[in-house]
Each structure stands twice: as C-alpha cells, then as structure tokens.
Amino acid sequence: MTRRVRRASRGMSSEDKRGIIIFGMGVTILIALAIFILQVVQSPEKDYDRVSLCNEHLPRAAHHLMIIDVSDALSAHQAHFLKTHISGLLEDARVNDRFSIFVLDEKYSGLSEPVVDLCKPPSADDADVLTSNRTFIERLYSQRFSAPLETAVAAVVAGSEQKESPIFEALSDVAALRRIDQRAGDVRLTIVSDMIQNSRAGSVFDAGPKAIENLPLVNLRGVRTRVFWLDREKYKRFQTEALASSWEDYLASISRFEQIERVRN
C-alpha cells in the first residue's frame, strides 16, 4: 500500500505541482486582501459623526470656542482680522479638533446656540494613498467643514446690532450648559468683544469697571481664555485701561487667562 502511494506521488507531474503552488498562493492573497479590506472598513478614521464630523474614536487635541459680540457691527478691519484669525486656527488645527462659535444672544441674555459646532476632518493631504478616497475626503473637507464655517463667520460679522451685551452671562453659560468638550486635551476660549458688559448682572455704562469687579465667579478653570478687544470710537470713554485691568483680574480668577489683544476700529 505504501509503495502505491509513493508511486502515485512520484507520478505527479511538474504542472500539477505548479498548479497546487499557484492555488495556495492565490488563497493566501485572497485571505490577506479580505483582512486588509476588513481593517479599512472598521478603521477608526471612518467612524465619524455625519453632522458634526467629530470622531469619538480618535484623540482630540483641542477644542476652540469663540464668543463673538454682535451688539455692535464690526468694522471692515475688525471683520478682516477675525476671518484671518479663524483661517489661521483652521490651518494649524489637527484632525478631529473641535470648533464651536457662539454669539452674545440678546434673546436669551447669554450664549446663543452654536453658530458652528464642527470637528476638523482629514484633508486630502492627510489621506492615506492606499486606504482613502482622496476625492471624497477633499469634498467632505470643503463642502462640510471649511465652506460652512466661512459662511457662518460671514453671517455673524454682518449681524444686526443689539441693545444688551451679556458677556458675563455667556461665560456662565459656557460652564452651566456644558459647552466644553471634556475629551479635548486643550480648551481655548476666545472672546471677541468691545468688553462693554451691559445686562442685568452689571453695566459698564452705569458703574464703569466696578461692574466687572462685582460680577459673580464662574468655573472655567482649565480653560485658556483670551480677548480680542474691539475698539469702538463711540465707547472710547468707557474702554479705559481700568476696564481692561478689571477684565484681566476677573478672567484670571476664573480661568487660565492669557491676554487681551486690542483690535483697532
């Protein structure tokens, strides 16, 4: 019996052996390809929210929050400054960083609903040559992220004026309404305003810098804050160094305050 098996194996032609080898290689390639496709489909990079573009399976280095005061119209220079600043933020941001833009809302006497609340998706330059559709990613980045963001900022800049300027209330709402992304490693809050607090909580028009000194404290500890101080010619007598100092002290007491940068009219 053993001799017959040996004879049969000896009788296998070289073509048969080559066929078996090719078949084995083909099966191996198909298995490897199936594993590769499965990894691509299940890749964390593909698992993003279709509305916010945020991916909860990837790290988020930063959350950029911006509160824009529309109680008075921005000058052409201030509007250009703001757009340039936001463009720079977008360019420097990492994939999955979050951007939330609000305005001071007279209706709610505080923070508006987000005008924009999006995470930065990969751009075509970030796409993997083997696993990504560069055309789709480029369209996603442009149509769902950069274009809506630019449109929203343009609408805010051109917004109508309001009687109230509830800066304190907006800061309070950021904390109370849990607008801060807890997953972000770095949270940065930028206030774009003339810093003329004017609401029931206090009015610079009535009390000057004392209105800021008497504001209740809110909890923004761990949040890095900065101010783009919009100079207004009509508020020149209110926008004093004493007012700036009061805001610096207040923001330093509730957050990781960085600086006030004046933006000319």
Total structural domains in the chain? 2
In a domain, 144, yes or no: yes
Q: Are residues 129 and 191 in the same domain?
A: yes
> Which pLDDT score is estimated for 24?
62
The predicted structure's pLDDT at residue 144: 75
- The answer on 241 and 156 residing in a single domain is yes
125 and 19 both lie in a single domain: no
SS (H, E, C) the chain: CHHHHHHHHHCCCHHHHHHHHHHHHHHHHHHHHHHHHHHHHCCHHHCCCCCCCCCCCCCEEEEEEEEECCCCCCCHHHHHHHHHHHHHHHHHCCCCCEEEEEEEECCCCEECCCCEEEECCCCHHHCCCCCCCHHHHHHHHHHHHHHHHHHHHHHHHCCCCCCCECHHHHHHHHHHCCCCCCCEEEEEEEEEECCCCEECCEEHHHHCCHHHHCCCCCCCCCEEEEEEEECCHHHCCCCCHHHHHHHHHHHHHHCEEEEEEEECC
Asked if residue 211 belongs to a domain, the reply is: yes
Task: Tell me which residue range forms the domain holding 29.
Answer: 2-42
**Mean of all residue pLDDT scores within the chain:** 83
> Are 30 and 109 within one domain?
no
User: 225 and 103 in one domain?
Assistant: yes
Q: Are residues 118 and 161 in the same domain?
A: yes
In a domain, 47, yes or no: no
- Residues 177 and 215 occupy one common structural domain: yes
- CATH code: domain of residue 217: 3.40.50
pLDDT surpasses 70 at 126 = no
In a domain, 252, yes or no: yes
Q: Are residues 32 and 67 in the same domain?
A: no
pLDDT tens-digit map of 230-253: 999 999 999 999 999 999 999 999
Based on the domain organization, do 99 and 36 belong to the same domain? no
What is the per-residue pLDDT for 15?
67
